[in-house]
Structure 1
Amino acid sequence: MNFDFSDDQKLLKESVRKFLADKCPMTVTRRVLEKEEPYAAEVWKGLVEMGLTGTAIPEEFGGLGLGALELCVIAEELGRSAAPVPFSSSIYLAAEALRLFGTQKQKETWLPKLASGEAIGALALSEGTHAAHPRNIAVKFAGGKVSGVKQPVADGGAAHVAIVAVNTGGAGEQAVSLAIVDLKAGGVSSEPVRTIDPSRQHVTLTFKDAPAEILGDKQGEGWSQLSRILDGAAVLFAFEQVGGSEAALEMARDYSLERYAFGRQIGSYQAIKHKLADIYVKKELAKSNSYFGAMMLNDEGAELPEAAAASRIAGSDAYVFAAQENVQTHGGIGYTWESDCQFHYRRAKLLALAVGAPIQWKEKLVSRLEAKNAA
């Protein structure tokens, strides 16, 4: 069985890599981080002009009508460049939520805007440092209005629309629904939240009787919808983490070949060789899991829940390890503000918490495997 991407997908990957290498070097990420811009507007505009925001959105709603595999190759290159853009929030999460579960009218309203870049989307799930659970979703939906606080919300300050997890009453998982909130329609305020990676803006969103509508046809299906949305996003984030791991490995390798100590390249020392080899092994393990996750996501395979969790766990482990070892390989210079090592370290730590921390995904993997084996 061939798990590799097609020639067309590889060509897409190459074109995205060339664009990002030209328009999104680390100097752009540094500028966004230091100036606290919400995102790199010129990079986002370029991605939109290439049609990448419409990759997996059906043609009838203004997209390219491609699929999950094309999104995966784009995600890997975005991760490689640590791109400071709201692509994941708008496309992996908001657009996919609407594509999968929106009514025809909801899709017609928002998907063309998300595909064209006219609007940016976000997912508002977390309500603090605790893990989201059907029992602790406190933001209320009643009478077509949403009230409560969500934090942190990735790219919430730049977003025009948010998919918000809300409590609509009921017991257990049936208490949760997803609501569509036009963030520019009033009743919503935002306040910046400091994170380890300021190149990806996070905010607190406060809703005060904000107009909203339930995603889909009926209430009470939000938790099952979230599960599918997050599984898909987990695979895509894993590809970002694979791309970031490869970039961190290349940075460490290049530095080890140009830096001399005691008259020798530091890359000739066994300790450095072992660091680079360990990064490579973890990166390849993450890549294998991500490829299987991509196949399940593309085919809507029965094993997507397990594959998504495995991809997420391996991707987080690989990227954090690669970023840390990259800093170590650079030695004292790696810890300085002037070094570019910080950008992959920051992004690795941030992505490890996006759509749930690794411990949550480990628990999901165990429970899903137990349920599968018991069936």
Structure 2
Amino acid sequence: MPADVFAQAQNGLRTNDGQVIDPQLRHRRDSPMSDRSPRLSLAMIVRDEERCVARALDSARPLVDEMVVLDTGSVDATPRLAREHGARVESFEWPEDFSVARNATIERCTGDLVLILDADEWIEADDADTLRRWTAAATPGTAGLVTVASETESEGRQVTSHTESVRLLPRSCRYVGRVHEQPQGYAQTEPVPGVVLRHDGYLPEQSRRKQGRNERLLLRSLNDDPGNPYLLFQVGRERQIAGDFAGACAAYEQALPGITDSTPWRDELRARLLFSLEREGRHADALRSAQEILRSPDVSAEVLLAAGNLFVDLAGVHPQKHAAFLQMARRAWLTCLEVGDPTDGRDHTPGCGGHLAATNLAALSTGLGDEEGARFWTKRADELRR
């Protein structure tokens, strides 16, 4: 089989977050909808975000009653831009702890519920009353689960990944964790339909600006809690994003013994480990890990998708076994479609059990010169994406 088959297949693959009311919003307080709804505050922590802070605030301005921005030491125009775009801005010395900063911002809010937004995010909503309708119907103590669409680069192409994140909180809630902080204090979560947070902070140029910051905070947390598997997993993610695949493998492998079948991020850890092992050139270890993981019960589409990608890569590394590895990849992606995306609340990349697997099958068919198969799987991917 020609070598360019593998290149064509790989090129098509998809791989696997004082009350001041703006004059424009005063009418909401007199509207019937506002009379029934709790007041909404926006809470944001910023530092040197002049590139995007106006975009974030402008997207939120029609949806909330107040916008509170806590500036942790900007030396650019971020504070001025935030004020010009309707926010109340206060200064706060950076405490080397994201949860402390988040909580300080929430404490300065006056709304009944608080919408958490980062400066490199912006809101897409069906209409201006989307959040009002949700808050009017939500059970007290409920937090809102919002879809976050993050733009990233994979294999030299820009792609979008989707995750679910708790972002609409009762004001009594507080965050814990120095980095990758999590909110606590709500009774339950419910999805907020019609609201998507777009995010471009994972694109290479933006990631480089923050490189090392999160890992430094994570390592400080590990000093306080050695061996914590979640912290090790997050250290691995930071290193992987930075291209340090050896460091990522080391962290993931340390985290692996500490997870259980109920660990929400179990599947992402396994998928990222396979990817990082292959990128580090540890092909034998990657294959051994994939075979071990695939033998375990309840294998997810997330892991199957990553395993299929690994098998295609191994087909290029081991030409004498190319047919066998490509068949293994095909079986892995077909099984993705059988398994589907999880419905039990586990963290996952939406589409691994659907359009992403079908897209990879189309790419593989193209690489093998199977035009009919490529057309079939391209059509199927489009159907699953809807």
- TM range, smaller chain: under 0.3
Larger Rg: 2
**Structure 1 or 2: larger helix share?**
1
